[in-house]
Structure 1
């Protein structure tokens, strides 16, 4: 059976390659548009583009104006906007997180040592004298025969959780949790979801830079300002009262006070058969008030209707939001401008709208969606996917753009989720035309596949391709690429210094956006329906969806 599936996959990929290699109308990507839109959206006047702020109002109005000027028509029944009901929660009067046990109490301060909040929509949350349980990686995966909650009742208790998958230290890909490549079980969003399902009063992730894929500075800046959650009739009453992170050194100190070896227990948690460890006699307490503000955020949607198959849709997405005002830099700057993340991707969306409109309508309709709330958990794309303006069963596939590179031209691109769908053939054809190549992710443990808006569509079966700029730079090779990525992650990512730089080299960015054009246009001109490869986690979902369309 395995050989049969492999043969079918090869035939499908060969067919996809033939379609992907078709000639599409040429179009130039306007570098000036990329510069203008990125500079505008990342200016201080937009205050970091947080949903529900004056910055949002300016952002969505500007994007609607640019979409109209590009030649699109309003994409939602005559409107440029899709309303997305959100709630802004801002923690105030946060108490220290206090652990009491056999040793002296351990009191952690909000910000430098721990961060805490809640998805519950309520004015006050408190966890008092809650028993503490170490649940390893906090994974409950029946299909893998793995349950870190087996044999323990954590209802009303505080759980301490490790970030990433149990086998993240494996140097290769493969195995129970795919080794070095993170699965959804490794994401912090899953950790909190599962803790809530288990009834935990509080869920705290122990931060470590390598498996988290970012430093404490990112956690602190991302969690200490206003947070966005989707609105819900029950106020998310089924969620934990408190969720957050604590620093690794503080976790070690807590365990040492109780005569426990944190590192030894963490190592045990990576092995099959691990059982949760209650910290006997240890309790946790924390409280905070929350300012609750319900508001309507918006996705911005434009469409270029198709000529001959207008009821088939190709999707282009990018998130317009960022963090707003955040933890201040040493110079006092507290606006997280998000120039690269993701004013650059939003600019690409506008440039692609211009390029496609200038060439003229394709056979299929092309939909351009600038989504809200990505930084708060893919909220805008999740809302679109759950409430699609255009049927997902008739959505052929699409591309997602997030944080384009300004490091200069590269010989390659890094494909996030390489080998998952037949869209790879479309990318390969576009790369071949540029004399470039596709690479696997060098850091699959960072779980980028689950960290951007394509995931909201993919998990519902729609093939979406997402790639990062190349790490093999024309000037300096992979060493230069790694240095540029490290510099951005350590000094600008999710911080006030992700600002527009007039000295940026846009040559590589233009080439990358040209790839997105080639992929999207090839999809829009063809009559093919590319799928996930046989055996992929999303293949069965897509097959069921397409069956309803047929």
Structure 2
């Protein structure tokens, strides 16, 4: 989970104002909502006892932090199958509840300095302090020598926007130097070629590495800058210097660079200066449409050893078949995994139990499955997908997205549940990445039915929409909602909500003290689950196929998927 409850946005006074804020256009409510079939849904019979008990069990020490590939995984799978079966679901993968997810863990070691030659003076940078680099190739040693370096601006190739930083450029075997975020990230508004200050997928490091690999680059280094990255160098250092996991690619391997990594901003400035260039001036140039990449006349070299470990993990899938359109699917996702054993707390506790993150979201899958089964089969099928290895980089959901059990073109859309901060009820619900798809209209209808309003994403520039499991489906065209708990608590308002979020982040997030508390007040979580129930069931009872909004980066992917499909959208 990428914890995001750090900034508190002002709530919107009315539902109409919230809709406009989400949509970014005056005709959203009139043109989007009126064109969709959004059935009214009665409240669901959702069990608080189920939420409490499933969270308690999954977060117990007996599950050892639910690390993929461990005894904790074995216990988690058995328990979820038992609960899914008791809830009234059917196995989601033929006669099996499981989907195998083959994983590869690569640990780099013995990193040579990153050396740069060909400029005014030779440069040498220390691993972790000045740069980081990893490989996703299954090789015992990574060695790059004499790789020509090219500054490619933001490293974006977006035909639908008429933007290509690689235009007329051959980077095969070369090292590309890339800026983080989008060209218009400094905008104060949500308008611009890349949605202004709201990060698009083109701004995420995952995209930049993928595009560099598609272009044939040997290595891709992103220049770290705290503000547009939304985290400091300490996060890069801690995240990129240990074991790195990814699916076992086999014959389905996508294009891969030899090395992906980051350059500290001071290191990048020195590299560009050695080439007679200025980082600030190049950045300004790269923010303009039509920017041309700049060969630097430098050569890069480094090497490191790799230890590879293969293991099998699993997604858990249950389905409630639809009564009229069983081959049309509405998806619910949550990740079951956490960190296993981790850095001990002062009292010696070294189990990262992951009660909030994400035993609560996994429990919500079970509780919602029970409620939908009690309400009877809807028109379309409801899929409940508990994915593995989210904490390792959305790997379980990525595997499902690449190997879907239910065709993505026949998947109407869905919701993702990643950590419920257990608190009292709130007046609002936070929409992360709102304004991207017509699913907003289903959200607004559910909010209206429950007498609540929406709080827009307080930090759209951080790109939180691209950091949880729904993204693995979104990038393949399936419209997905990502919601966060309310921040305007009925008791205590926004100050109380901010205090609760800060306490969790400072004292429990990704640590041994994210533990189940029998004294938790579940009222707010249960109110949020009613929203998820209404949204999921409304999609499952609807005849509409909501799409991404015009201009969204995933719209063309969905349109192409629909054009190729004989069923579904």
> Are residues 289 and 65 of structure 1, via their aligned partners in 2, closer, same or farther at CA, if it must alter by over 3 Å?
farther
Corresponding position: 1:95 with 2:95? no
Cα distance change, pair 496–278 in 1 and its aligned pair in 2 (3 A) = farther
Partner of 2:125: 107
Q: Does 1:348 align with 2:364?
A: yes
**In 1: Cα distance, 2:38 partner to 2:255 partner:** 47
Deviation at 1:408, TM superposition (A): 4.3
**Contact 1:531 1:542 (C-alpha < 8 Å) held by counterparts:** no
Task: Find the aligned partners of 2:505 and 2:132 in 1 and give their Cα distance.
Answer: 20
Distance change >3 Å, CA 149–CA 15, structure 1 → 2: closer
Match of 1:24 in 2: 42
Aligned to 1:133, which of 150, 153, 174? 150
Matched, 1:371 2:395: no
Q: 1:270 to 1:340 in 2, by over 3 A?
A: farther
Aligned match of 2:559: 540
Distance 1:267 1:108, change over 3 A: farther
- The change in CA–CA distance for 1:205 and 1:331 in structure 2 (over 3 A counts) is farther
| Deviating more after overlay: 399-408 vs 45-54 | 45-54
| Aligned 1:187-206 pairs, distance under 5 A | 187-206=204-223
Could you tell which deviates more after superposition, 330-339 or 82-91?
A: 330-339
Counterparts of 1:46-445 in structure 2 under 5 Å?
Answer: 46-100=63-117, 102-103=120-121, 105-110=123-128, 112-150=129-167, 152-233=169-250, 236=253, 238-255=255-272, 260-281=277-298, 283-324=299-340, 337-406=353-422, 408-445=424-461
Indicate the larger mover: 172-181 or 122-131: 122-131
Alpha carbons 2:59, 2:516 under 8 Å: kept: no
2:442 counterpart SS class? helix
Other-structure match for 2:515: 500
Structure 2 distance, partners of 1:478, 1:62, is 37
Residue 253 (structure 1) shift: 4.6
Aligned equivalents of 1:407, 1:268: Cα separation in 2: 47
For the Cα contact (< 8 Å) 2:350–2:512, is it kept in 1?
Answer: no
Residue aligning to 1:523 = 539
Asked if structure 1 preserves the Cα contact closer than 8 Å seen for 2:438 and 2:547, the reply is: yes
Deviation at 1:118, TM superposition (A): 1.1
Equivalent of residue 13 in structure 1, options 24, 33, 39: 33
Whole-Å Cα distance in 1 between the matches of residues 164 and 480 of structure 2?
A: 31
Question: Which string of whole-angstrom CA distances, capped at 9 and with x for unpartnered residues, describes residues 304-326 of structure 1?
Answer: 23345444332211122344556
CA RMSD in angstroms comes to 3.3
Alpha-carbon distance change, 128 to 491 in structure 1, aligned in 2, over 3 angstroms? farther
Q: CA deviation at 1:336?
A: 5.1
Cα offset for 1:370? 0.7
Measure how far apart 1:75 and its partner are: 1.6
Q: Distance in 1 between matches of 2:202 and 2:158?
A: 8
Mark the CA change 1:485 to 1:280 in structure 2 (over 3 Å): closer, same or farther: farther
Count of aligned positions: 540
Moved more, 324-333 or 529-538: 324-333
Instruction: Tell me: CA distance 1:491–1:53, structure 2 relative to 1, closer, same or farther (3 Å).
Output: same
2:8 is matched with which residue?
none
**TM-score (ref. length: structure 2):** 0.83
Tell me the alpha carbon deviations over residues 352-389 of structure 1, each in whole angstroms, 9 at most, x when there is no partner: 12222344433433221111233444332233233332
- What displacement does 1:189 show? 0.7
Q: How far apart, in 1, do the equivalents of 2:539 and 2:251 lie?
A: 41
> What TM-score do you get using the length of structure 1 for normalisation?
0.86
Structure 2, unpaired ranges of 5+? 1-24
Taking a change above 3 Å as real, the CA distance of residues 124 and 399 of structure 1, as seen in their structure-2 partners, is same
Query: In 2, distance between residues paired with 1:130 and 1:326?
Result: 38
Superposition deviation, residue 516 in structure 1: 0.6
**8 Å Cα contact 1:225/1:326 also seen in 2:** no
